Structure 1
């Protein structure tokens, strides 16, 4: 058995994975995020009930660049106290289990590769849209990390008056003095303004996808993250904004897929752990 952990900016979630299934999970809303000791204690509190002699290791996905070899987390979005945290060392000392740490979007890609919609692709890009914009790159079935998991940070590319991340993450909805959640529910009710906002969002996300295609020419692009739940509202404008892509023959071959794999964050984190228990 493996423990997979998804550490977000607001919540920590851990799951016990057996034969590719989440058999038990625990979630906790993080408090006192300005204290490193407090947040580490809360993370341990989420993991601890799942630890047993049968557990082979712990995999953790974090929204940060990571020194994968040493398990050092440099910064975590929305957790200001996390600066160069030796997470692997701390948790291995506490649990006496091997611990593996990686970027959360890389975990998303690994999960899709092993259990989800990317199993039949040798090269693909996974994009997570939510609080931020994250990208993971798989080339010839190998995750490309770069230095400290820094590869794929295309959200910081200049775009309009800001950058790609601003216009393709939750911050985009600030322009309209609303939130992605509010616009999602309004769109479900068919409200024209909400539907128009999603169409505008899709246009910006389509420009993100064009950057990905120009840079990597993958077989597929997988979309995940909280905002992807509204995919049906922005899919058409996203695809329309890609019509001016310079290489139509390439565009026709690329599949854009919305992730549908349940518990993908936990499964992807668990996939970090070398083990026979996952398959």
Structure 2
């Protein structure tokens, strides 16, 4: 919807211009003026100022037909950098990206087996310093954190797999140390954002990202918008009761989904590292294949139930298990198909993420980048 110029100040217009260019909605002065409903003369003044500040750069279109080629506007990669951090109880990833969202540095680190909240906060700071790129101004930090957040996205409320992770004022802690804006979001929601921004769901309006790591959660996009739910607690499927997978079904006992099918639960049941688990699965080890099939069936059962409620077009599976096409993804899809067929539901397209293990960290950096606003 076009903006009403009379109700906007120069700073608001400039931030809208940067946002439109970053999303490639409009990439020339003429397109911007038309798309935002701003007079061409005003647009020219604002664009010239952004170029002078080093926020944007302008170049001539390389391929063009008859007539004068237009000037193309794009973010100036040297204008600054953004850092993204993503983690669960097992591993932490950090990246830095430039102003045009190109990767500068990355660093990953295994977390100590019994790390508490204080330990993890310290490691976050160390990784931020490790990926910070010299010579570029740090403009913002995005944190993709596990578990639940408060409604204002300032605190980590609860994460059962890191001792002491309760009502943790993480935004204030990191903001105080690095003196730049810090943005928090649930890590699986950030994975979903990454799929929406530069993954397989770029053209998909309704999809769900299922992250399977130390725990299990979902990021939900409905009608092209991230759905957080009332008080921001949507998508927490890790505690979904799975009675059919309990050893005491006669007594009515049930197990949480993430105690049946998370990467952590599978590792503990087999007493193996992630690397050994993946290697054994590729070699079709009988016991490993049985455990993975059980886990895949549990996740598939839950996905089928979510599909009946939300009717997504696509389900994206993230985490190391998504790499196992035959051992995990195939039985998961078969279970979804079986369950939905019996209920008359429609089968969504189910795919493995193609963004790799840095997807969450890149998404967190992109989160900071997209929320950044010009302050000068």
Question: TM class by shorter-chain length?
Answer: 0.7 to 0.9
Kindly state the Cα deviation for residue 44 of structure 1 after the two structures are TM-superposed. Answer: 1.3
The verdict on how the C-alpha distance between 1:152 and 1:70 changes in structure 2, with shifts beyond 3 A counting, is closer
User: In the alignment, which residue of structure 2 is the partner of 1:14?
Assistant: 94
The structure showing larger relative contact order (alpha-carbon pairs under 8 Å, at least 6 residues apart) is 1
Q: 2:106 aligns with which of 20, 25, 29?
A: 25
Q: 1:135 aligns with which of 187, 202, 218?
A: 218
The verdict on how the C-alpha distance between 1:157 and 1:79 changes in structure 2, with shifts beyond 3 A counting, is closer
Structure 1 position 273 matched with structure 2 position 368: yes
* Residue correspondence of structure 1 range 1-279 to structure 2 within 5 A: 1-18=81-98, 19-31=100-112, 33-34=115-116, 36=118, 38-49=119-130, 50=132, 54-67=137-150, 69-160=152-243, 161-170=254-263, 172-173=265-266, 177-179=270-272, 181=274, 182-242=276-336, 243-245=338-340, 246=342, 248=344, 250-251=346-347, 254-262=348-356, 263-275=358-370
Gaps of 5+ in 2: 1-80, 244-253
Q: How many residues in Structure 1 have an aligned counterpart in Structure 2?
A: 274
SS of the residue 2:125 aligns to:
helix
Gaps of 5+ in 1: none
Kindly state the Cα deviation for residue 118 of structure 1 after the two structures are TM-superposed. Answer: 0.9
SS of the residue 1:79 aligns to:
coil
Kindly state the Cα deviation for residue 184 of structure 1 after the two structures are TM-superposed. Answer: 3.0
The question of whether the paired residues in 2 share the 8 Å contact of 1:107 and 1:271 is answered with no
SS of the residue 2:339 aligns to:
coil
SS of the residue 1:127 aligns to:
strand
| Structure showing greater Rg | 2
The question of whether the paired residues in 2 share the 8 Å contact of 1:170 and 1:180 is answered with no
**1:97-123: CA deviations, max 9, x gaps?**
110001100110001110111111011
- Structure whose residues are more often strand by fraction: 1
The verdict on how the C-alpha distance between 1:171 and 1:270 changes in structure 2, with shifts beyond 3 A counting, is closer
The verdict on how the C-alpha distance between 1:100 and 1:84 changes in structure 2, with shifts beyond 3 A counting, is same
